[in-house]
Amino acid sequence: MRSVTSDTVTQTFVDLMAPDTSPRLRFVLERLAAHLHDFARETELTHEEWRTGIELLTKAAKITTPERNEFVLFSDVLGLSSLVDMIHSPQDATNSSVLGPFHITGAPDLPVGGDLKGDNDGDTVLVEGFVKNRAGEPIEGAALEIWQTADNGLYSNQDAAQPDYNLRARQVTGPDGRYAFTTIRPAPYTVPDDGPVGTLLHATGRHPWRPSHLHFIVEAAGYRTLVTEVFPDDDAYLDADAVFGVREDLIMQYQMRTDASTIAPDIAARDRMSNPYYVVDFDFILAEAPE
Amino acid sequence: MRSVTSDTVTQTFVDLMAPDTSPRLRFVLERLAAHLHDFARETELTHEEWRTGIELLTKAAKITTPERNEFVLFSDVLGLSSLVDMIHSPQDATNSSVLGPFHITGAPDLPVGGDLKGDNDGDTVLVEGFVKNRAGEPIEGAALEIWQTADNGLYSNQDAAQPDYNLRARQVTGPDGRYAFTTIRPAPYTVPDDGPVGTLLHATGRHPWRPSHLHFIVEAAGYRTLVTEVFPDDDAYLDADAVFGVREDLIMQYQMRTDASTIAPDIAARDRMSNPYYVVDFDFILAEAPE
C-alpha cells in the first residue's frame, strides 16, 4: 500500500476489501474500479477533465428531484440503462426497454377492446395482439399496463391540462390471450436537456429526442415481468433515440385502414372510427419465470 | 440504430456523436462508454444493482454541499483521484498527492525558520529541507503553502475552537532553497463516513482513516506546481489510507532528538524546544513547467 503506483492502484483497491465481503459485491466493485482506472490511464485523464466530471455530477445533484433524476438520465444517454435491459432480456421473448420516469401506479382497468382515446386529439389507432409464451401458446390472465403521451408529447403527470390517468390503463387478457384498445398515436418528445445531460448532448451534437412510443408492463403468473416500449416504424427519431431504447423486435407498423367494418365487434370505439384510422398488430412473448 | 444490441450499443453511442465533436471529447467519451458498457456486460449487472448505484448517487447528491462534495469522496475512495495525480506526476520529481477539501487561500507569511506551533498542543516537530530542481539545484523564491490538522485531527476551518489560519502558513525560500518551520505532529483523521461513501466502505470492511500528514503546495516560477502531502513512517494507517494518497517518496521520518543545540540558529522556537522533540528532513523536487 505504501508503494501505490499507477500500475498497482487497482490491486491495492481490491486488497483493501475485507475477506468476508460478499463475493458478488467484491466482484462488481473490482470490475468497477478496474474499468474506472483503465479509463483514466487510457485517456491520461487530466485534472481539469476530472474536475469537469465532478462538476457535471455536482450539477446533476442540484437538478435532481424525486420527479427528475439526472443520474438516471446520464445512465440513459450513455446507453447503460438500455444495456442492462438487453443483458437481461431472455432469448426468444419480447425485448425489454426502458421504464422511463413517467410510470405511475393505479391506472384504471380497461376491458379488452376498450377505448383509451376518449376526448384526446390525435390519429385514432387500434392497438391489438396477443400475449403468448415462447411456445406460442396464449397466456390467459396476463395484465398489461399501458401508458403514453398525449398529442402534445406530454404524459398526464407532466401536464395539468390532462385529466388524471389520461391515456393510462390496465387490461387483463381472457382465455385467448388477446388484448385490444383504441387510443391516439403518441408523440415524440425530448428528454430534459436543460441540465448537465443536456450539456453532454449539445457538446457532442446529439439531439434530445426520443421516438414516439407506447409503454407497456406485461405481467402474468409464472412468467418474467416484461417492461418495454413499442415504436412506430415511420418515426423520424427511430434511428437516433437519445436513450437507446429501440430494438428490432419492438418496432410496430401503423397500418392505415379506411374501412372499420372488418375490425372485431368488441372494439368499443368501432362506431366512432373516422377515416382514416390506424391498426397496430403487436404480440408480446413472455419468458417463463426463473425457478 | 434500430437494431441496437448488447454487442453494438458502444459503437452506436460513438456513431451518434457529431463528426465535428472535439476529438479529445470524442475520445474520452468513447472510452468512458466502452468501459461502462464492458463493466455492465462482464458483471451482467442486474436491474437491482443498477438501482443501488443510482440510489448511492442520489444520496450523494443530497449530502453534497459546497464544503463537502460526496462525488469527490467517491472518486477518492475508489482510487481515481490518486490515479489522476499519479498519471500526471513527472518522473524524478516529488510525487503529487490529493489536495483534499481543507485548503483555503490567504494563509499568513512565515519566515524561514518561523514557528507554526504557537499555543497548539502536541509533539514539537521541526520540519526542514530544500526545494530543488531535478538537477539537484536549489530553487530560490519557491513559495510553500503548508496546512495541517491540530492535535484533535481537525483543520482550523472545521473547528470553531481554533483561531483562523491556525497551523497554516506560506513560506518563501531564500537563495539556498531552504525552508524550515516548527509545528506539531499532525493527527490521523477519518473521511466522512455518514453518507453513501461510508455505506460503500462499511460494506467492504474498509475503515475511513487517513494517515496523519502535512499538506504542501510548492510553487516556483518556471516549474510545475506541486500539490502533495507528506506522511510519517510510523503512522498506523500508512498501509491502508482510505483515499490512496501515500507514495513511497512522500514518507518522512520523525527523528527524535534530545539536544536542541545542534539545530540551526534561525529556528525561531529553538529556545522553547522541549525534550524530546522531532526533526523531519524532507526535500521537494520540482519538475520544469511544460513549454
Query: What is the distance in angstroms between the CA of the first residue and the CA of the last residue of chain B?
Result: 44
Q: What is the per-residue pLDDT across B207-249, written as a single tens digit (0 to 9) for each?
A: 999 999 999 999 999 999 999 999 999 999 998 999 999 999 9
CA dihedral of A51, A54, A56, A58, whole degrees rounded to 10: -130
Average pLDDT, consecutive stretches of 10 residues, N- to C-terminus, chain A (291 residues)? 85 96 98 98 97 97 92 97 94 92 94 96 95 98 98 94 97 98 96 96 97 97 96 92 94 90 87 85 96 77
Measuring CA to CA, which residue among A213, A241, A240 is closest to residue A227? Answer: A213
Size of interface A-B (CB pairs under 8 A): 215
pLDDT at A41: 98
pLDDT in the model for residue B270:
86
Confidence band of B4 (pLDDT split at 50, 70, 90): confident
Is the CB of B43 less than 8 angstroms away from the CB of A35? no
Name, in order, each residue with C-beta under 8 angstroms of B67's C-beta and a sequence gap of 6 or more. Answer: B101
> Chain B window 227-256: which residues touch A at a Cβ cutoff of 8 Å?
238-241, 244, 246-248, 251
Nearest to B84 among A40, A81, A241 (CB): A40
B100 Cα to chain A: minimum distance (Å)? 13
Tell me, what's the pLDDT at B291? 77
CA distance A210 to chain B (A): 12
- The confidence score (pLDDT) of residue B275 equals 74
**Nearest CB neighbour to A244, from listed B4, B28, B61:** B4
Choose, out of A15, A35, A56, A225, the residue to mutate when testing the contact with B (most B CBs < 10 Å): A35
Beta bridge partner(s), residue A189: A210
Q: Which residue of A has its CA nearest to B7?
A: A83
Please name the member of A80, A86, A238 whose beta carbon is closest to the beta carbon of B2: A238
The predicted model gives B163-170 an average pLDDT of 97
Q: Show residues of chain B in contact with A20, CB under 8 Å.
A: 205
Residue B50, C-alpha cell as written in the block: 443498477
Pick left, alpha or beta for residue A114 (phi over 0 → left; psi -120 to 50 → alpha; otherwise beta): beta
Q: What's the whole-number mean pLDDT along residues B121-127?
A: 94
Q: What is the rounded distance in angstroms from the CA atom of residue A51 to the CA atom of residue A59?
A: 12
| C-alpha–C-alpha distance, residues A85 and A107, integer Å | 24
State the nearest Cα–Cα gap between B92 and chain A, in angstroms. 14
Residue B2 scores a pLDDT above 90? no
The reported pLDDT for the residue numbered A1 is 56
pLDDT confidence of residue A64: 95
User: What per-residue confidence (pLDDT) applies to A244?
Assistant: 95
Contact A18 B206 (CB under 8 A): yes
Residue B50 scores a pLDDT above 70: yes
Give which of A80, A230, B70 is closest to A72, Cα–Cα: A80
Cis peptide before B276 (omega within 30 of 0): yes
List, as ranges, residues 33-52 from A with C-beta within 8 Å of B: 33, 35-47, 49-50
Contact: B35, A40; criterion CB under 8 Å: no
B211: nearest CA in chain A?
A2
Closest residue in B to A18 (Cα–Cα): B205
Q: Give contacts of B10 with chain A, Cβ < 8 Å.
A: 79
Contact A87 B45 (CB under 8 A): yes
- Among residues A41, A36, A73, the alpha carbon closest in space to that of A57 is found at A73
Subunit contact A35:B39, Cβ cutoff 8 A = yes
- Helix, strand, or coil here: A24? helix
Question: Is there a contact between A244 and B86 if contact means CB atoms under 8 Å apart?
Answer: no
Strands of B163-274, DSSP E: 168-172, 178-184, 189-190, 209-210, 214-219, 226-232, 251-252, 255-257
Residue A274 to residue B144: CA distance in whole angstroms: 81
- CA of A261, closest CA in chain B: separation in Å? 34
B107 vs B36: CA distance, rounded Å: 42
Q: Is the pLDDT of residue B1 over 60?
A: no
Best residue in A6, A52, A65, A83 for a mutation probing chain B (most B CBs within 10 Å): A83
Can you give the pLDDT at residue A273?
Answer: 81
Backbone φ and ψ for B269, nearest 5 degrees, come out as -90, 10
Which positions in chain A touch B3 (Cβ < 8 Å)? 247-248
As a whole number of angstroms, the distance between CA A219 and CA A227 comes to 9
Is residue B11 less than 8 Å (CB to CB) from chain A? no
Give pLDDT, residue B271: 81
Note whether B25 contacts A203, CB cutoff 8 Å: yes
Mean pLDDT of chain B: 94
Interface contact flag, A206 B20, Cβ < 8 Å: no
Sequence-ordered strand ranges (E) for B22-86:
none
Strands A124-133 and A284-286: parallel
Containing B151, the helix (H) or strand (E) segment is none
Q: Which residues pair with B181 in a beta bridge?
A: B114, B127
A79: chain B residues, CB-CB within 8 Å: 9-10, 12-13, 33, 36-37
Residue of A nearest to B207 (CA): A16
pLDDT of residue A245: 94
Cβ contacts of B39 on chain A, cutoff 8 Å? 31-32, 35
The pLDDT of residue B3 is 75
Rounded distance between C-alpha atoms, residue B237 and residue B228, angstroms? 18
Contacts A203 to B, Cβ<8 Å:
21-22, 25
CA angle B248, B217, A55 (to 5 degrees): 95
Q: Where are the beta strands (DSSP E) in chain A?
A: 114-115, 124-133, 143-147, 168-172, 178-184, 189-190, 209-210, 214-219, 226-232, 251-252, 255-257, 277-281, 284-286
